[in-house]
Amino acid sequence: MTIKEAIEKRHMVRQYTSKAIPKDIVELLHARIDENNKTYHLHLALVVGNSDGIGGMAKRLLSKTVNNYIILAGTDTPELDEKLGYCGADLILYAQTLGLNTWWVGGMFNGKGALKNLSRQDVRVNGVIAIGYGKTQGVPHKSKTAAEISVYNGDAPQWFIDGVNALLYAPTALNKQPYVVKV
């Protein structure tokens, strides 16, 4: 599966099976995480076999079955959120190409629990991504149309059309898609 195909196939999954992520896939994820860490000077990490980075409310209400997650962390700088957003999206799509499911946990993560799994304690944990084999493949979210989220002055080139179409698949808080792309 390509990244482009993963954009269409990837949906939020909150319930996971107990199937362990095989060692070869864990190694591929570590390599991708290491690449992002080096390129963007971050402190991303894959945690396998525990859920201490998932907040108590999320565990009680949404998912008791998360056993693996990716920590989104880095040195607190003005561009940290953008870097973590880019790398997080890269990792959830890469995971989908490997046959895994993900959930961008958002505000229901346990930063102190996640921080225990990092070698550096002087970084900001900005979120976690649950990862594993989903009990389902998730369902597509309700989406606006391309015309509702984009404006192109003139005839839109294919790269713009493709970008807007990919953006329509991107998860947003409460599926609001509160943006407009204008060129």
Domains of the chain and CATH, by start: 3-140 (3.40.109.10), 141-183 (no CATH)
What span, in angstroms and rounded, lies between the C-alpha atoms of 135 and 74? 31
* 124 burial level (CB within 10 Å; 0-12, 13-18, 19+): middle
Backbone angles phi, psi at 104, to 5 degrees: -75, 100
pTM of the predicted model as reported, rounded to 2 decimal places: 0.85
Kindly give the confidence (pLDDT) of every residue in the chain, 183 residues in length, as a single tens digit, with 9 standing for 90 and above.
887 877 777 767 777 889 999 999 999 999 999 999 999 999 999 999 988 888 776 766 666 788 899 999 999 999 999 999 999 999 999 999 999 998 888 778 888 889 999 988 899 999 999 999 988 777 677 788 888 888 999 999 999 998 888 887 776 666 677 888 888
Residues in a beta bridge with 128: 71
Contact yes or no for 51/63 (Cβ under 8 A): no
